Amino acid sequence: MDAQDLEPRSLSVYSFCDQANNLLKEQDFASFVRFVLMGRHDNHQVVINSILNRILSDEDNGVMRDYNSLLGIDKDI
């Protein structure tokens, strides 16, 4: 099935990591790899929406984000 045929599903960064962690706990490694590297899960094309749960500019916080690291999630890190 092509990605164009999949229904899109938007997740926050937290929800994406939580789902990936659940797949690891279930030891469903094939689904885990498809999910984190291709964004495919349960006939959906998963899209990370980095705007969800964002930090507003008027908050006084120092924040760093590294979304590229999501591609290398490993249970031993």
pLDDT tens-digit map of 40-57 = 988 899 988 888 877 777
Rounded mean pLDDT of 27-34? Answer: 92
Q: Give the pLDDT of residue 51.
A: 83
Q: Give the pLDDT of residue 69.
A: 62
User: Rounded CA gap, 23 and 46, in Å?
Assistant: 14
Examine the pLDDT at 18 and tell me if it is beyond 90: yes
Written in H, E and C, the secondary structure of 41-71 is: ECCEEEEECCCCCCCCCCCCCCCCCCHHHHH
User: Mean pLDDT across the chain, nearest whole number?
Assistant: 80
Q: Give the pLDDT of residue 5.
A: 80
Domain ranges for the chain:
1-51
